Each structure stands twice: as C-alpha cells, then as structure tokens.
Structure 1
Amino acid sequence: MITLRIDIQGLTDERFQRPLQLITNLFYEESEVSLSPSDSKDISVHFDLNIEESLIHISARLIERESKKEVSFSYRKEVEPYQTEKEYFKQIKTAISFAYLNVLQEYTGIVQKWGILTGVRPTKLMHKAIQEGMSREEAHRMLEKSYMISREKIELMQKIVERQLAVIPDLYDLRNEVSIYIGIPFCPTKCAYCTFPAYAINGRQGSVNSFLGGLHFEMREIGKWLKERGIKITSVYYGGGTPTSITAEEMDMLYEEMYESFPNVENIREITVEAGRPDTITPEKLEVLKKWNIDRISVNPQSYIQETLKAIGRHHTVEETIEKYHLAREMGMTNINMDLIIGLPGEGTKEFKHTLDETEKLMPESLTVHTLSFKRASEMTKNKNKYKVASREEVEKMMHMAEEWTESHGYVPYYLYRQKNILGNLENVGYSIPGQESIYNIIIMEEMQSIIGLGCGASSKFIHPKTGQITHFANPKDPKSYNDSYQEYTEKKINILNDLFLH
C-alpha cells in the first residue's frame, strides 16, 4: 500500500480528496491519498496555489522521502468566466489535477493517454463540443489542452462520434422518446468478474415465477403511461443476468406482454436480447425470439481458452459457444454481438491472438472488446491473489491487437466507455460492421434520453427533456425485496416520469 501525503498550500478541503485519489489509482493498484501532511516515509506532494486577478499559478513538487527523489511541475492558467462557486471550484480542481498528473507521470514514467479524465463516458465531451458549435479542430484542442487526452484517444473519440451520428442522425433530438431496459436477474452460474444482479437459477423456480409476475406488472403500467401520453420507445434491451436463463415458455409470455403493453412495438427501432451464456441457448428459445421478430442477440465467448472459462466460473465449453453461434445463425438471428475480455486471468497476447483467430471463423456483426475491470464487489476483486492478470504493457498490446484486427476485418468503433480499476487505464470499445451498430448502446453511453429500467436490479436513468439533468433510480437487487415492493417502485417511476414530461 502506497500512501501519498498531499499538502495543497495548507488547504484541506475534502472535495479534493476524491479527484486526487482517482488520479492516484491510475498509477498504483493500492494507494491511499491523505490531505494531512506528515513525516511519513512514503511520497509527499506539495502544491503552491496562487490566484492573481484572472490567473491561476500552480506548482507541484513530489518528494519520495526515503530516496530524496524529487519531481516538479508548474504552469499558469487563465480563470474562465464562471457564474457559481461550484464552477469556480471545478477550475481549481482541474488545475490541481493537471499538475498532479504531470508529476506522477514524471515520477513513475507511466503516460496516461486519457489524461486527467477518470469519467466513464469520454465521448460525451466530444458531443458537447459539437452541440456548442465547436469545429473539429477546436474540439480536439480543447480535449488535449483541458484534459491532457492524447491525440490517439481523441482520434478514437472522433471516429466513434461520427459513426454514432451516422447511425442515429437525430441523436440530439431523442429526449422526448424513451428506451426500456428489462433486467432478468438469473444466470446458470455467476462469473468471477461480475457485479450485475445475477443469481444462479438452479433451484430458484419459485423466485423466478414471483419475479416474472412483478415484471409483467411493471411492463403493463409503464406501457399504459407511455400509450396515454403518446411517448415513443426508441429501443428495448433485455439484460441481466442472462435473459435466456428463463424457460422458452416464460420468454414467450414476456415478449407477448411487451407487444400487448408497449406502444407501437413494430416501430421500435431495435430490440436486443442478451443470450450471453451459450449454455442457456436452445432451439426452442431461438424459435420464441424468431416468433416475436427479435433478431439481435449477444452470444458472449469472453475467451476461447477453456482453462480461462473454468477459472472465471463460466460453466460452458468453447465448443458450445461455437455450436450455439451457428445454431442462432441457422435459426434466423441476423445481428449477433459477441463480447471478448482483454486481460482475463492467465491470458496474454498469445491467448488473445487465439481468441481473435477463433472470432475470425465466425465474424459476428458486432464485437465488444472489454478490458478487465476489478469491480469492487466481484469475487475476483475479493480474491485478487487467486487471479493473476497481465501487466499494463501486455494489456495495452492486446488492445492494439483488437484495434488492428477489427480494422482489417471491416469493423468500425461505435461506442466506448471506461470503468474504475480498469486494467492499464484503458477502455471498452464496441465495434460493428457498418449498419449493424446497437442503438441502445449508443443511447445509454451518450445519455441522450431517459432509459426506464424494469425488473429486479434494473436501474433507470431519467434525463430531463429540456435541461438534460440526470436522475438515477434503482429497483431492489434481490428477488425477494423486488417481489415485495415492485408496485411501490413502479409508482415512484411513474411519478418521476410525470415530473419530467408533464411539467
């Protein structure tokens, strides 16, 4: 555990704690930032902050106590016009973050290609710049100057934003519509890296039956509200868990409820069902999907190394993934996504090349390349010593392999997001054959419209149609709590919708 003592010219404002800790986490797996100076033998960083009229003068000096190694950085920045104390503080925070990142880069020799950016959705910055009327060059300069984002990552953002606007030309005008997320909180087993609401389905049929009753109720009530107010649905996404964990009969009733409850289902731009676990896919379930005109699914190998699948708790074989992919294709699924994860335990460039070679034999319409993230509540994070993962350098090599492979096979990047504790401070990127992109993935990442979450553990994200203000709301994560309170939670969601759309 590395302890970094921070002295900001005597300032101990706790609002600095979080941004400085997030930047520290980019360099050290285990660290603690303390705003109180001490004589510790660890690392100290001293900031001198002076504000004269409209200029911020800042210098940062990092000292390693034991070796007496010292690194310094200083610069000045104009204070931009601001209206509130919060906006002013943000400028100070950004300046301190800027100086802090520079001294840590110099001290460690690690260059952070995403700069001071620790947020999940970088491309939102590019969209904001476009909506404010910035030219491409102005937007790029702003991202480089204000956030220290590398040109490589800015170009990636540019490609993605251009593709998104080609796929959804009215992306900036979708706030008067909604999308729906339907969560099915069951899986055959729980993967070691997973923190989604997911319960092993074996022996829980009573819970499944009760849960589905509540979900049908939510679908009817929300659908009724949307119909009465003439609000369109842009996309519907069945996630989880694994939505194909339930039986074919239960799936059939669920999609029938969707057609009966939701307005103009035939005009919804996209309906996706995650069939991520190949061991849940059967001919009967594929027939149900076909019956209800659902042809976009996700069949997720994660890796084509059997030892890896066993290590992370996915109880299916590599062969089963390939067989179920072909079965889905033969039974009319015309838009199949596959997820791969870079940096899984025991895997390096050799194993990832094998996974890409196997993917080449299948050529799904879209491919989402995730970088492993140590999520706080996952089994993998709780037992880090058990799961040996690749180094930062090797993880970066694997990401470049994915970039080169997708480009050479006709895929284009169309969405991107980042996570805390992600290996190598990298990103997750969705690639697609042009014209086969997921509308839902774009909408949820760019936060352009409200997404109403239905089902156990489903989160709603309400976007105010005029102000863009975001309100989060989550259903209970465990089936029993959900079964006890789904009516109450449905009513609360409807009250939020009334505030958003009727005022």
Structure 2
Amino acid sequence: MKRGTIHLYKIGILFLEREFEHDIYELIRAFYPESSLTSFYSSEEVTECDLFFRIEDQDGCCLIGYENEEKKGAITAEFTEGQSSDALISCDKDRAHAVRKERKDQLKFALYQLLVKLTGKTLPWGNLTGIRPAKLAMGLIESGMKNTEAAREMRERYLVSPQKTALAITIANREREILKNIDYENGYSLYVGVPFCPSICLYCSFSSYPLKQWKDRVDLYLEALCKEIHEVAQMMKGRKLDTIYIGGGTPTTLEPYQLQKLLDALSESFGFDGLEEFTIEAGRPDSITREKLMMIRNYPVTRISVNPQTMNQETLDIIGRRHTVEETKSAFALARECGFDNINMDLIVGLPGEDRLMVENTLREVRTLAPDSMTVHSLAVKRAARLNIFRDRYQEMTFENNQEIMDMTMKAAYEMEMGPYYLYRQKNMKGNFENVGYAKVDKAGIYNILIMEEKQPIIALGAGGSSKLVFDHGNRIERVENVKDVTNYIERIDEMIERKRTGIRTWL
C-alpha cells in the first residue's frame, strides 16, 4: 500500500510464547516505524502480512522465525543453564528478577541482530526499548562500575552507539552530582497540574482543555485542586518536600487572582521552606502577561519555562499554537524584565514540514534570547494526539529528524554554555532518538531528573495526575492515578483524595 512516497508494511507477530511480548513488539516497531503492527496469539488468527514474525519457546530457548515474500528464516535466543521458565519457579525473588532480566537481554540481543539483517540499518539506542537510558547508565555506575566499564556494557550488551553511550554516561554523572543532597528515603516532590491551554497543539496527548470552552469551570477546578492540596499535605507530614512543579496544560492560562489562590494554597498547606526548586511552566507565550509574572514573583518560584517549540511561523500555524514568533520573543524579554533568572525553553525537532534549515533558524533565534536551559524534544506522536487521529490530513507532510539535526541542537546548546543534564525517550519518536535537557551551571531542572530517574515519590495533584510512590529503597514503584476528565475530577475529588490516602498509607 502506498501513501505519498512511503511504503507502509503490514507486519504480523504471532506470540506463541508471550514472555517479553512488549519488548519484542516495541523493538520491531522501532525498526519499522511507519508500518502497521498486529499481534496474534494463535495460528488461526493470522491474516495476510507483508512481513511475519513467529515467537515460540523451543527446548528452553526462544525461537524467532520470520517470513516475507522474498525469504524466510529464524534466529534463536539461547538461554544459559538455569534460565528456563521452570528454573525461575525455584529461585528466590531477587535471583528470579536477575535471571529474568538476563533472559530478556539475551532475547533482545538476538532479535536486534535479526532486525539489522532484515532492514540493513542500526538504531542509535541499540536494543533499548525503555524510556530511561540515563537511569540504566546511573545504575551501572552506582553498582561500582567505572565510567569506561559502564560504557562498554551499554555498547556490547545493549548495542547502543558510541555517541549515545557517551551522552548517557555524561548525563548520569551530572545527575548524580545534582542529586547528591536529595534525601531519597524521606523526601518527595510535588506535581500540580493545570489542564487548560489557549488552544490544543496538533501533537499534544496530555490532559489539556481549550480555555475558551472551559473558562466557566476553572474556578470549580481550582476549588477541587486546593482541596486535594490541603488533604495531601496532611498525608505527607513528616516528609521533606524537595521540589514543586506546576505544569499542564499551561498554568499561566489562569488569571492572576487564580494563580494567587493556587500558590496561596500550596504555601499554607505545604510551605516553601527548604525547597530545592520551584518551577512553573509559563509555556505558551500567548498566556503570559506582566501581571501574571509579577504575581508569580511574589512567591519563591526559582524556574519558569517559556516554550516556543519552534521559531518558524509557518510551523506554529500548522501545529495550532496560535501565537507568533514575536510574541515568544516579547514574552521571554518580559520575563527577564520581571526578574526571572532561570528560564527554560522547550523545542521540538521533527515537526511537520520542518527541515534542517528551519531547525537551524529556530536555534539561531533562541541563541539571541540566551535562555538558561533548553529542552530538545524529538517529536513523538501518541495515539491520542490530533496529528495521529487525523493523520490522513497530514500524510503528505515530511517529518524530518536525523543525527545531523540532533548534533546541531547539541552544538547550539554548547555554544550557549549549556551541558546535557537529563534525557528520556518516548514511544514512536521520529528517528528513534531522544529528548535531552541542556542547562547552564546551577540551572538544571531537578524535578526533571527526579521524575525520570524514579529516585523518590512524586505526588501528582490535579486532573490526569499520576503519582509515583517509590519505596523499598527505590526498588519498587506503585502508581496512584487521578481521572483525566476535568468534570470527573471535580465531581469525584473525594475519591481521588481517598485513592492517595490508601496508596500513601499502604506503600509509604
């Protein structure tokens, strides 16, 4: 089937052995990002495919067969002695976890080699399917490995490219230095969600609602949110609050009096003494006013974001940002004028229609503003995003990202005296790359590292909030979810509070 100039393959995967099903699926998708993948669980279900994989257990090994119009074959992941599924039953919990991880690594190693053979290409992050490469690097270093040993492990076991290995090791070491004073056992961080935006961006899959349609319900939302703030503060008494992050949506869609209500609730319930960091996303330039910024300045906010995503007007119009490049520049200048000395800017690489020269223009414009940190995102289109829902409308557009562009963003960051301090990956990223945060000395976003490295509990308040309860010395994580829908959140706020009370009581 042809769409534009891209041949879209139909790929089928028959899982007769379902262990590590998710990892197998995601690794195949990474090699065939523009294809449709279908999972089958019996031979009777299988339909016609351009490329077909068969996953089955065979004498304690995992056999991966493949077949297309031109050829067929198989590769075997050989598990070492004591790694069979039956052997795991008799192991203690820690040993079973270690053995299962070893089995997964061997399976992904074999599958990666097969996919390289089939496609003739390699992936910058090798066979890693998780979203936290720096967490892997940090774990290797914290286990006692030297940097060189950890790098060798990433290259040889996980087949990560030398360039990405160096990036992950560099970031892991900087993260360790930044977090050295954080109390993982007794501390926690707070996320507060404001799910309203001036308009909804084409690529957005967050719980965001256009302010124009929800303006009459914002005060009701804040009442529910302030109630959750008060109750959760009581639950977390005796623990140290390290960072607060107010995100969204766009928090600065709130009017000044609404910002004051929210910030007063946080001050009265949690207090701000001893905070390592307090971030508010100003996000959309078309939501920023002097009055709002000065209201924020009344509180000990240490970091804000003014996020252009791109400095090309044509792209802003396509993705539905509904603000101008000049508004971005004016909002940034206004924030500086109001006294903010730690301003982040988010950029997205791989936006529809943008090529290398357009990214170069964005970086040139950002350089003139001289932010204190910059986060470079590789476009990842999730199922809930309008860009995916209405993909037929945008199928003729190019979505360009490559190593040259990623290198260009890194070079620009270095020229602005920023170094990388955190990274993460998402599913369906263009070019199988990564999101990287760059920052000047002492300007790194501590919360960003904590949420990615999962070192301490993150309590998330508001519609769509997903709390991570980290316990057992960081070895276990349980999630407590708030409903995403604003109306449901308002009406069921007591239920959301009780969910947290039960989770905190049980696991923390």
- After TM superposition, the score normalised by the length of structure 1 is 0.90
8 Å contact kept, 2:277–2:302: no
Please say which of residues 471-480 and 70-79 is displaced more in the overlay. 70-79
- 2:219 maps to which of 209, 216, 219: 209
Distance 1:467 1:438 in 2: 21
Displacement, 1:251?
0.4
Displacement, 1:48?
8.8
- Give the direction of change, closer, same or farther, for the CA distance of 1:97–1:287 in structure 2 (3 Å limit): same
Alignment of 1:210-289 (within 5 A): 210-227=220-237, 230-263=238-271, 265-289=272-296
* Map of 2:198 onto structure 1: 188
Please say which of residues 488-497 and 345-354 is displaced more in the overlay. 488-497
* Map of 1:450 onto structure 2: 457
Secondary structure of the equivalent of 2:492? helix
* Map of 1:473 onto structure 2: 480
* Map of 2:3 onto structure 1: none
Displacement, 1:73?
5.8
8 Å contact kept, 2:282–2:304: yes
Distance 1:24 1:290 in 2: 49
Secondary structure of the equivalent of 1:370? strand
What is the letter of the counterpart of residue 27 of structure 1? Answer: F
Alignment of 1:388-467 (within 5 A): 388=396, 390=398, 394-466=401-473
What is the letter of the counterpart of residue 169 of structure 1? Answer: K
* Map of 2:4 onto structure 1: none
* Map of 1:335 onto structure 2: 342
Please say which of residues 448-457 and 199-208 is displaced more in the overlay. 199-208
- Give the direction of change, closer, same or farther, for the CA distance of 1:299–1:120 in structure 2 (3 Å limit): same
Please say which of residues 360-369 and 106-115 is displaced more in the overlay. 106-115
* Map of 2:35 onto structure 1: 30
8 Å contact kept, 1:309–1:315: yes
Displacement, 1:203?
4.2
What is the letter of the counterpart of residue 386 of structure 2? Answer: E
- 2:172 maps to which of 118, 143, 161: 161
* Map of 2:207 onto structure 1: 197
Alignment of 1:20-59 (within 5 A): 20-28=24-32, 29-32=34-37, 33-34=39-40, 40=48, 42-45=50-53
8 Å contact kept, 1:342–1:395: no
Secondary structure of the equivalent of 1:14? coil
1:170 paired with 2:181, answer yes
8 Å contact kept, 1:17–1:34: no
8 Å contact kept, 2:286–2:327: yes
* Map of 1:497 onto structure 2: 504
Cα deviations by residue, 1:176-214 (Å, 9 ceiling, x for unpaired): 111000000111111110011111111423311111001
1:95 paired with 2:106, answer yes
Distance 2:320 2:187 in 1: 39
The sequence identity of aligned pairs, in percent, is 36
Displacement, 1:75?
7.4
- Give the direction of change, closer, same or farther, for the CA distance of 1:258–1:77 in structure 2 (3 Å limit): same
What is the letter of the counterpart of residue 414 of structure 1? Answer: Y
8 Å contact kept, 1:189–1:313: yes
8 Å contact kept, 2:378–2:430: yes
- After TM superposition, the score normalised by the length of structure 2 is 0.89
* Map of 1:311 onto structure 2: 318
- 2:21 maps to which of 1, 17, 39: 17
Structure 2, unaligned stretches of length 5 or more? Answer: 1-7
Cα deviations by residue, 1:261-280 (Å, 9 ceiling, x for unpaired): 104x1311111000100011
Displacement, 1:345?
0.6
Alignment of 1:374-393 (within 5 A): 374-387=381-394, 388=396, 390=398
Structure 1, unaligned stretches of length 5 or more? Answer: none
8 Å contact kept, 1:5–1:36: no
Distance 2:106 2:259 in 1: 53
Please say which of residues 414-423 and 124-133 is displaced more in the overlay. 124-133
* Map of 1:147 onto structure 2: 158
Displacement, 1:2?
2.6
The number of residues matched between the two structures is 487
Displacement, 1:353?
0.4
Distance 1:75 1:100 in 2: 8
8 Å contact kept, 2:138–2:173: no
